């Protein structure tokens, strides 16, 4: 090895899965410097990116799995062994959040012996995922956030928020039911046509934002119908300043956002956050335009009355997609967004097979002998990041995937039924771990 040039070592070791390559840093000081070099990182990313492009749909479908971090946190992962190495064999251990503290240990998500539903409110939550980093908090009632990389087991604590909104009553009520989003800039960019990888060589240049859209105040009737606003306050944390600020945000072209009654996790894609509303989708770019947002209407033919409950907004094959069930039926539709004109293209319209009584698990019920809200309803829970025909569903406690092209359906696990007590998050893991951006 001592006689080999750095260029040759880079050519050899950049073909290893990144977790294996990172372990090679301990071989010697030379290897540590070599693998830390941006040239090595760029070469590794380019090699594994080409491997990914060569995978066909059949290979993609085989290489995904539903990873259970705990009873309440499940991740949809795409883990080819030749790219992610031993992570693909035991993702639960590699992606565990227990390094953040006892609140994030998998045992903390187990229900109390008395099965009291109110205890679920005390459990930790994954708020968002962006470019390889998680945003987590200890409980819904504590605005104490952690930004972490579960692959490297590194984390940083975000300074607690001194509520900047006007009026104590507004602060208390609005932030308790805020829409939350997390956006981090990518560590690297890939120029598809010229096989060029650009890595952010300075960690100091990485930035992230935490975005909170507070509760829209109104009467109970207005809340149930959906409260619309064309202008509203947004609370933002910036890693560059290390401070929380409030921005007044306006919807473009005279449009308005209808806040949902059921809160779902937003999607981070292309440097923007996509928040699912009751009647439309709010698109917000906290890096380049803090004072404006765009509104995208749901596809025509979607069930707008139930889309925020039975539907899902996510990313597959690099495109924003929406899927939902029709009211009281097993008919599911899948659309893809054309980002140039904000129009929708219908990709699939399929009836999902009926589910039997085995979809209910007694040990997963929230309270003894009581069915949760939404019992007997089909819901879309996620998309495969690279196989455009594969969608993840839930019916009662059963979690199953369906290939909408081949109409193949298969059970992959079980989880709690109540909407807020189970998180299913689709992860598109980067080809190299993202360093933690500093908070100044």
Quick check: 367 pLDDT over 60?
no
Does residue 262 or residue 254 have the better pLDDT? 254
- In which region does residue 4 sit, left (phi positive, over 0), alpha (psi from -120 to 50) or beta (all else)? beta
435 pLDDT more than 50: yes
Average pLDDT over residues 6-21: 91
Contact of 287 with 269, CB cutoff 8 Å: no
Torsion angle, alpha carbons of 42, 47, 49, 52, to 10: -160
Instruction: Work out the widest C-alpha separation in the chain, in whole angstroms.
Output: 76
**Beta bridge mates, 229:** 257
Q: Confidence band (pLDDT; 50, 70, 90) for 124?
A: confident
Best-predicted range by mean pLDDT (111-125, 129-143, 363-377): 129-143
Q: What is the pLDDT of residue 217?
A: 73
Residue 230: count of CB within 10 angstroms of its CB:
15
DSSP 368: T
Rounded Cα distance between 326 and 305, Å, is 9
CB 413 within 8 A of CB 351: no
Q: Is the pLDDT of residue 168 over 50?
A: no
How much of the chain, in percent, has pLDDT values that exceed 90?
44
State residue 374's pLDDT score: 57
Would the pLDDT of 239 be above 70?
yes
Count CB-CB contacts under 10 A for residue 304.
Answer: 19
> Across residues 380-403, what is the average pLDDT?
92
175 pLDDT band (50/70/90 cuts)? Answer: low
Q: Which of 171-180, 269-278, 301-310 tops mean pLDDT? A: 269-278
Domain boundaries, the chain: 6-427
What pLDDT sits at residue 197? 76
Of the pLDDT bands very low, low, confident and very high (cuts 50, 70, 90), residue 64 is: confident
- Asked which of 93-102, 232-241, 417-426 is least confident by mean pLDDT, the reply is 417-426
Binned at pLDDT 50, 70 and 90, residue 173 comes out as: very low
Distant-in-sequence, close-in-space partners of 362: CB < 8 Å, separation ≥ 6: none
The whole-number average pLDDT for the span 126-147 is 88
Residue 236 has pLDDT above 90, yes or no: yes
Mean pLDDT of 288-304: 91
DSSP sequence for 248-272: EEEEGGG--EE--SS----EEETTE
Task: Report whether pLDDT(119) > 70.
Answer: no
Please state, in angstroms and rounded to a whole number, the distance separating the CA atoms of residues 122 and 126.
13
Q: Which one, of 32, 53, 35, lies nearest residue 43 by Cα?
A: 35
Residues 6 or more apart whose Cβ sits within 8 Å of residue 60: 78, 384, 386, 387
Instruction: Please determine, for residue 164, whether its predicted confidence score (pLDDT) is greater than 50.
Output: no
Q: What is the model's pLDDT at position 433?
A: 92
> pLDDT confidence of 221, banded at 50, 70, 90?
low
Q: Any idea which of 90-99, 116-125, 255-264 has the lowest mean pLDDT?
A: 116-125
Higher per-residue pLDDT: 217 or 410: 410
pLDDT beyond 70 at 158: yes
Q: What is the pLDDT of residue 201?
A: 66
Predicted local distance difference test score (pLDDT) of residue 196: 75
**% of the chain surpassing 70 pLDDT:** 84
User: CA dist 287 to 167, 207, 208, 209, 277, Å?
Assistant: 27, 9, 9, 8, 21
Classify 396 in phi/psi space as left (phi over 0), alpha (psi -120 to 50) or beta.
left
Query: Which pTM value belongs to this model?
Result: 0.89
Rounded CA separation 113/103 (Å): 18
Which tokens in the block code for residue 198?
């650009």
Give me the torsion for CA of 80, 81, 83, 88, rounded to 10°. Answer: 80
């Amino acid at each position: 090895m001592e006689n080999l040039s750095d260029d040759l070592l880079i050519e050899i070791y950049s073909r290893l899965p990144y977790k294996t390559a990172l372990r090679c840093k301990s071989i010697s000081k030379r290897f540590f410097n070599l693998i830390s070099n941006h040239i090595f990182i760029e070469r590794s990313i380019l090699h594994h990116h080409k491997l990914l492009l060569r995978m066909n749909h059949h290979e993609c479908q085989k290489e995904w799995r539903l990873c259970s971090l705990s009873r309440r946190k499940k991740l949809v992962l795409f883990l080819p062994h030749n790219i992610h190495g031993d992570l693909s064999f035991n993702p639960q251990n590699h992606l565990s959040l227990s390094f953040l503290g006892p609140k994030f240990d998998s045992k903390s998500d187990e229900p109390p012996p008395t099965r009291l539903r109110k205890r679920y409110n005390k459990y930790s939550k994954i708020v968002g995922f962006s470019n390889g980093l998680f945003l987590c908090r200890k409980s819904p009632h504590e605005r104490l956030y952690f930004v972490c990389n579960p692959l490297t087991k590194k984390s940083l604590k975000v300074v607690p928020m001194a509520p900047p909104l006007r009026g104590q009553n507004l602060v208390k009520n609005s932030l308790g039911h805020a829409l939350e989003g997390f956006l981090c800039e990518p560590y690297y960019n890939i120029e598809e046509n010229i096989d060029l990888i650009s890595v952010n060589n300075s960690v100091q240049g990485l930035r992230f934002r935490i975005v909170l859209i507070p509760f829209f105040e109104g009467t109970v009737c207005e809340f149930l119908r959906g409260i619309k606003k064309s202008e509203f306050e947004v609370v933002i944390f910036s890693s560059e300043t290390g401070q929380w600020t409030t921005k007044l945000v306006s919807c473009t072209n005279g449009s308005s956002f209808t806040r949902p009654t059921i809160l779902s996790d937003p999607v981070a894609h292309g440097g923007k956050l996509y928040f699912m509303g009751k009647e439309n989708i709010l698109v917000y770019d906290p890096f380049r335009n803090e004072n404006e947002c765009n509104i995208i209407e749901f596809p025509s033919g979607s069930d707008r009355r139930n889309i925020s409950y039975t539907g899902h907004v996510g990313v597959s094959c690099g495109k924003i997609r929406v899927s939902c069930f029709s009211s009281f039926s097993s008919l599911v539709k899948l659309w893809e967004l054309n980002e140039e004109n904000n129009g929708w293209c219908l990709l699939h319209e399929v009836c999902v097979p009926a589910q039997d009584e085995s979809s209910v698990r007694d040990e997963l019920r929230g309270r003894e002998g009581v069915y949760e809200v939404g019992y007997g309803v089909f819901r879309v829970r996620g998309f495969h990041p690279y196989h455009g025909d594969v969608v993840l569903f839930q019916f009662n406690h059963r979690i199953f995937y369906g290939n909408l092209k081949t109409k193949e359906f298969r059970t992959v696990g079980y989880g709690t039924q109540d909407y807020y007590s189970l998180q299913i998050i689709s992860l598109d893991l980067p080809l190299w771990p993202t360093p933690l951006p500093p908070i100044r």
